[in-house]
Structure 1
Amino acid sequence: MLQQLAQPAPSQTPFVELRGSALLKEPLRVSGQYRRPDATTLVREVQQPYRETSRIAGGKVVISRDGKPPREFALSRVPELADLQRSFSALLSGDGAALRQHYDMLASGGRAQWVLALQPKEAALARRVREVNLHGRDGELRCIETRPAKGDVQRTLVGSAAEAAEGVKDAAALADLCHGKAQ
């Protein structure tokens, strides 16, 4: 399955997230593009409702937001982010052995609809992230569902699921898209 998910660099895919918070009257819908300009760089470019670019490369993270000076910090300050970056790179390159170094993996479902559950092995990451579930259809990753140790599930729809989510603001409808219950 991992070889089917591989996306050699350069690559890009749209994403949609719905972020809940007790401080907000309704969840915040965030959308944009994930880009991988080369095999060692990951870029998250938020386009709506604000503009922000996060670039992970060369052992550091640079976050740029319109109207503000860029913030930069070393990945070594946030080891769990470094683990996620290595794991995401392994996923996109189809490297199951590298992914298994960082996660216990359990696949379920069939080709038409599948889930790959990833449980962190590293203690620092496991303290923050209980599980990451990758939902897909055929050879396409459609949703990344992150279950933190504390707090609400974070769903990121990617590819055709993000495109199908155009204009959708309802959390339940986005969860259905994530889980393959809607087109």
Structure 2
Amino acid sequence: MISGKTPLLLGLLLPLCASTSASEPATASSSAQALIASLARPAPAHTAFAEARFLQMLEQPLVVSGELSWLGDDELQRRVDRPHAETFTIAGDQVTQQRESKSPRHFSLKRAPQLQVLLDSFVALLSGNPARLQQAFEIRHEGTAAGAWTLALTPRDAKVAKTVASIRIDGYANESRCMHMQEADGDLAVDLLGPLAAKMPAQPTREALQALCQSVP
């Protein structure tokens, strides 16, 4: 989710000040709240990822892999190991980009709405906080907490929605397995998470990744 254009996941990846609505957000269903609560992990939490970004300007997707880490509070790190070394760290409202053999680059989270989305979605999921997630997103839930499930997230903030149209998270039991971040311009980032990351095809297609995300672990 962080590759290509303006750095993306950390699809992705709002210290909640950025996505509030004028009225009180509709409460997510009790089944969705229970599911989100079951995903809670103590910080620090680390998970492998492999991402394929489908860009309209390119014939083949861009593929990167590495590790996502929630370090507690609003601190998230995305380390890319392949095909190059690069680390993005979000701490509060600041982002640090570190590339091999280059000086760190710092910028405000306000410049990267995709990173805000990534931060809010990951922190809310890893901390098992449905209230935070529903503050930033409209939530639709399908499936059961004991089997396969899907969370469909639509950003509430109109400015964020101009960049990130939607996020879909596929999982099984209390594990998130895939994240799809659909950008408003038609580009798509698909992240395979945890053990599923090792199954990223050498030449991924949307169909192949969809099949992996919906497979039974």
Aligned-residue offset at 1:83: 4.5
Report if aligned partners of 1:61, 1:75 keep a CA contact under 8 Å in 2. yes
Letter in 1 for 2:133: L
Structure 1 equivalent of residue 166 of structure 2 = 131
What value does the CA root-mean-square deviation take over the aligned residues?
A: 2.0
1:33-182 equivalent positions in 2, closer than 5 A:
33-79=67-113, 81-110=115-144, 111-165=146-200, 168-171=202-205, 172-178=207-213, 180-181=214-215
Which piece of structure 1 moves more, 80-89 or 68-77?
80-89
Higher RCO (C-alpha under 8 Å, 6+ residues apart): 2
Q: Structure 2 CA distance, aligned partners of 1:107 and 1:55?
A: 30
Q: Structure 2 CA distance, aligned partners of 1:99 and 1:117?
A: 11
Which piece of structure 1 moves more, 64-73 or 74-83?
74-83
Runs of 4 or more, structure 1, over 6 Å off, are: none
Q: How many residues align?
A: 181
Letter in 2 for 1:161: L
Report if aligned partners of 1:10, 1:39 keep a CA contact under 8 Å in 2. no
What are structure 2's unaligned runs of at least 5 residues? 1-34
Q: Structure 2 CA distance, aligned partners of 1:133 and 1:24?
A: 23
Matched, 1:12 2:46: yes
- Deviation per residue, 1:33-80 (Å, 9 max, x gap): 001223331000000000000000032000011122211101233355
TM-score of the pair, normalised by structure 2: 0.76
- Deviation per residue, 1:95-129 (Å, 9 max, x gap): 10111111110101233211000111011111111
What are structure 1's unaligned runs of at least 5 residues? none
Q: Structure 2 CA distance, aligned partners of 1:96 and 1:123?
A: 21
Compare the two structures and name the one with the higher strand fraction. 1
TM-score of the pair, normalised by structure 1: 0.89
Letter in 1 for 2:79: E
